Structure 1
Amino acid sequence: MAALSGKACEVMERSIRERVPPLLTDLYQFTMAYAYWRAGRHDEPAVFELFFRDNPFGGGFSLFSGLHDCLLFLRSFRFIDEDVEYLRSVLPSATDPAFFQFLRDLDCSGVTLHSVPEGAVVFARMPLMEVAGPLAVVQLLETSLLCLVNYASLVCSNAARFRLAAGPRRKLLEMGLRRAQGPDGGLTASRYTHIGGFDLTSNVQAGFLFGIPVAGTMAHSYVTSFSSLEEVWPQTLVAANGDPDSTDVISLTKRWLSRVCEILGAEPGKIHEGELAAFISYAIAYPHNFLPVIDSYSVRCSGLLNFCAVALALCELGYRPLGIRLDSGDLCSQSIGVRNVFKLCTEHFSIAAFRSLIIVGTNNISEQTLAELNKKENEIDVVGVGTHLVTCTRQPSLGCVYKLVEVRGSPRMKFSEDPEKSTIPGRKAVYRLLDAEGHPFMDLLCLAEEPAPTAGFNINCYPLGWDNICQSVTPAEVTCLRQEVFSQGQITHPMCSAAETRKKVQSSIQNLHPRHKRLQEPDSYMVALSEKLHNLIPEIRKGSYNDNNFLLAN
């Protein structure tokens, strides 16, 4: 896959510096960093892991997203004088002044990041990122990295579910900017819903920054702003073949409207003149991009008739109208009625362009709505989704956490009254085991120094949540999920564009077994520990772990 161009990377890195400066974090990161520094522990080598505890939306998988921004954040991470002066004003007055010079000199040159690939299918409790480096620095990175990964992964996963619900035939249009949690939430949503499977966005800035195809024509306000044909100006349009003579579009459309009403048995008196004026005006402005919303008044009695008349006039002048948008009522039954009228016009007037007209459906679309569309007969070609997509109404947060797993080469573990909040100690390698059909069936966590599992050979492991029950598996193929992506202040792995990552996502989802990607009641995917990693946990709990001898003895 090709890396991002230098210019695109420069624009996005500038955006990261502006949106995610080092101060975009929690205050306690600085108080902990100071305490480490005060105790002389700030340079101790430490390792943190980023993961989530439950698959979102009651599903069987998630998608890892946000790595691209994390890498740009790490590369540009440093405090400027203004940052340091502000910290001086909010930290306790007893803070040693030398600490602020320490902050002024900080960067991520000593940080190493290993990660699963951006766009990979991932599962609960598997480490997505490993952040290693000086203790104070990697502590300061926590909140920002979580902020960059949590929502990106959540909304990308939500988009993938919408894509699965919609099926492969329909195109999906993201149109959630006005409902998103602020401008940055809107941009993030547009970018990662495209990566998750949406084809188009209404967000122009997202198109500019990320190269996502943009789409959109008119809203109801444009239609209702017209009241009569007298408001149409200009009233003429030249033919598509370049004939210099202009045609009076109002007169042409009226003739076609009369013929449409005749073949459909419609009552001309029920047609809204302002709507017709709006359609004619827009068609004159954009004869190659005519796709109006037709439910401002009545689809059957006005909107559809007006559309057909204007579209037929455009066809006579050599243009090809695009289609219509439905935004209220029973979208399925309306789409069937609209398609039938299109077919009738095709046959009666011998207008071939009407065969390819598209029908766009929008109206508070949810995942459930899309699933129901697949169960009912309908003629919807494109579905526009906003609120339920970008706000992730079924689950507002993925819940990623960032936990310490090693200090000075010694594994660390969080104990908890809630067993689900306990962490898995030690620096790890992560492997994906595939069956003979190429489907992943288990992600295996091993201690970093263990040899990699071998395809075709038996592996003893302990699935998480199985109450210490050992299972024996034999993978047909083994892949290492972790890759080094940042080291010594430099990005060490090529970064892909949104379009390239989108292809990776679809391939990753396609490789999943159908039972794991069911939208309702999917089978649980297995994440397991190697024997050595499993045996390390009770030793740490009993307090008998010896930093120097345990791994050698086992």
Structure 2
Amino acid sequence: MHSSAMKVKTRKLPPCHNSLATALLVDAYQITMAYAYWKNGTHARIAAFDLLFRKNPFNGEFTVFAGLEECLRFISNFRFTGADIAFLRSEPFARTMDPAFFEFLAQLDCSSLKVFAQMEGGVVFPRVPLMRIEGPLLVAQLIETPLLTLVNYASLVATNAARHRLIAGEGATLLEFGLRRAQGADGGVSASRYAYLGGFDGTSNLEAGRQFGIPCKGTHAHSFVQAHIGFEDIADSTLNLPDGGLCPDFIKLVKEQAESLLEVVDMLPGSLRWAETNHSELAAFASYALAFPASFLALVDTYDVLKSGIPNFLAVALALRICGYQPLGIRIDSGDLSYLSLQAREILTTVEAVLGAERAGGFTNLSITASNDINEEVLHSLNQHGHSITAFGIGTHLVTCLRQPALGCVYKLVEIDGAPRIKLSEDVQKITIPGRKEAYRLYLKNGEPVVDVMLRIDEPQPREGERILCRHPFISSKRAYVQPAHVQRLHNLVWDGSTQGVCIGVDLSLMASRLRCMQTINSLRADHLRYINPTPYKVSVSEKLYDFIHKLWLEEAPVGEIV
């Protein structure tokens, strides 16, 4: 149990990265409720709110918690400005409000709140609160919408990214290419950030790279190839060499290598042989290689992947090898990615075998990047049918979360002035678990987590080696004893308003959250993570909390009458 008297060392936080996250990023009814609380004198009652979700997204059985850092930045800097107050006064719903209320709002901050949370990047499960907000009712209620806004999308994208990572495998490079398809500039930057947290390796989004230190990747588009008519478009064909020398005519070298490749053609199966390639594409590749000789990766599907794109890439790649540079690979943005990648790999392997290591060393293992509306289903299909892709550029389905566009986090009052509160519903899934709670993750001897169990705030922490009865919150027959080999506390004090800062020792950095995401996912059993029919992870309550839930349920539910 946390002690409210405990003195906690904290550090200050800067504002949110998104300037739209202001005190006015609320629904109007939060202001009207706040006024009603203030008007009737209940605004200072001490409340506890849980921020949680009820169902894992994407038909899966896990979720990645993201957005905590932005929530704490928001709370740390929460204030109504003079302009905010002026706007509120002008709204029709505010015209009958006591002017003293606006003076009260002008002085309001979150210094009276405490925030307990699971750690960002960790794997989380339904019903277990991601955050618990404790403090005066009015201010705790006011921050409901911004906290939900900052957590819902962030956690959804991070989870989506983690799911793509699981299917692609640890060895694949995953690049986020979704900026142009994202829901606005702020959505695009957030998507890049949380895709990286969820396990992606880089982004095409330079603004996200600038703000968050995410590696930025990119080559060229089809328009770059189309913009070239021929070699006459290239004004300067000289190339500086890695050893300080100079290649006086790189274009001539490219043409010579294109001719030399004819000796390879006869070694290929008939379907992979080429004759005449698109010369403007060859000029475009040579132009790009002159600009980026040390990182040459060509988009090869502008005209024909196998008959033009790859042969033209090879001519430029061989010329670069002669000059002392190693090409990176190719990108395919259309067509049958399984077939094309396998055929491309066969060509690259044959070229290295025929020309030898001196001319084509490393070609067998060059990168093949695939894009083109890739999602979980496509990745799963590629795994089933076989492919030779080493990197994936994923955009639309990742950043828009097309398969499920919302996570559905909610913010529920669970205690007021020490009295636990419950929200009832005919839908059992929507019944809240009342009161302040602590959550613990119980691990078996093999290091696997087996259950997350919630206890009332005044219960002792589960101990390693001691049995604890874990019960389903609402189904009486679902119960089991667990003897944990290791117990992990899930909720920790992360922000203490009395000192206006995030608690020392809470690492909110993107890299720490990314590492935590990978580690916690890897700790789960494989059947919880599988793409088809994953096994649900168990979420339970203690015997004491179970009894209390059902006692309060009966007390609050009205008794029916049959006449």
Structure 1 residue aligned with 2:8:
none
8 A contact 1:235–1:248 mirrored in 2: yes
User: Relative to structure 2, which stretch is displaced further, 72-81 or 529-538?
Assistant: 529-538
8 A contact 1:432–1:442 mirrored in 2: yes
Structure 2 residue aligned with 1:63:
64
Match of 2:462 among 439, 453, 458: 453
SS in 2 for 1:24: coil
Q: Distance in 1 between matches of 2:478 and 2:510?
A: 41
SS in 2 for 1:292: strand
Q: Distance in 2 between matches of 1:166 and 1:328?
A: 19
Structure 1 residue aligned with 2:143:
141
Structure 2 residue aligned with 1:128:
130
Give the superposition deviation at 1:221.
0.5
Give the superposition deviation at 1:262.
3.4
Match of 1:520 among 521, 524, 532: 532
8 A contact 1:463–1:471 mirrored in 2: no
Give the superposition deviation at 1:406.
0.5
Q: Distance in 1 between matches of 2:336 and 2:550?
A: 59
Structure 1 residue aligned with 2:212:
210
Q: Distance in 2 between matches of 1:167 and 1:423?
A: 37
Structure 2 CA distance for partners of 1:226 and 1:434, relative to 1, 3 Å: same
Match of 1:303 among 309, 313, 319: 309
Structure 2 residue aligned with 1:376:
385
Q: Distance in 1 between matches of 2:248 and 2:349?
A: 27
Structure 2 residue aligned with 1:501:
513
Match of 1:236 among 235, 238, 243: 238
Q: Map 1:131-530 to 2 at 5 A.
A: 131-243=133-245, 245-265=246-266, 270-350=276-356, 351-467=360-476, 469-487=478-496, 488=498, 489-493=500-504, 494-530=506-542
Give the superposition deviation at 1:472.
2.5
Give the superposition deviation at 1:273.
1.4
Structure 2 residue aligned with 1:540:
552
8 A contact 2:30–2:141 mirrored in 1: yes
8 A contact 1:210–1:497 mirrored in 2: no
8 A contact 2:230–2:280 mirrored in 1: yes
SS in 2 for 1:47: strand
User: Relative to structure 2, which stretch is displaced further, 310-319 or 417-426?
Assistant: 417-426
Q: Distance in 2 between matches of 1:356 and 1:513?
A: 32
Give the superposition deviation at 1:457.
1.7
TM-score, normalising length: structure 1: 0.93
Q: Which amino acid in 2 is paired with 1:497?
A: S
Give the superposition deviation at 1:98.
0.4
Q: Which amino acid in 2 is paired with 1:83?
A: D
Q: Distance in 2 between matches of 1:463 and 1:102?
A: 44
Q: Which amino acid in 1 is paired with 2:81?
A: I
TM-score, normalising length: structure 2: 0.92
Q: Distance in 2 between matches of 1:100 and 1:65?
A: 33
Q: Distance in 2 between matches of 1:311 and 1:541?
A: 71
Deviations 1:185-213 (A, max 9, x none): 11111111111111111111111111111
Give the superposition deviation at 1:469.
4.2
8 A contact 2:265–2:273 mirrored in 1: no
8 A contact 1:261–1:305 mirrored in 2: no
What are the ranges of 5 or more consecutive residues in structure 2 without an aligned counterpart?
1-10, 267-271, 558-563
User: Relative to structure 2, which stretch is displaced further, 227-236 or 63-72?
Assistant: 227-236
Q: Which amino acid in 2 is paired with 1:201?
A: T
8 A contact 2:419–2:435 mirrored in 1: yes
Q: Distance in 2 between matches of 1:97 and 1:221?
A: 60
Q: Distance in 1 between matches of 2:526 and 2:137?
A: 42
Provide the identity percentage. Answer: 46
Structure 2 CA distance for partners of 1:269 and 1:349, relative to 1, 3 Å: closer
SS in 1 for 2:469: strand
Structure 2 CA distance for partners of 1:356 and 1:460, relative to 1, 3 Å: closer
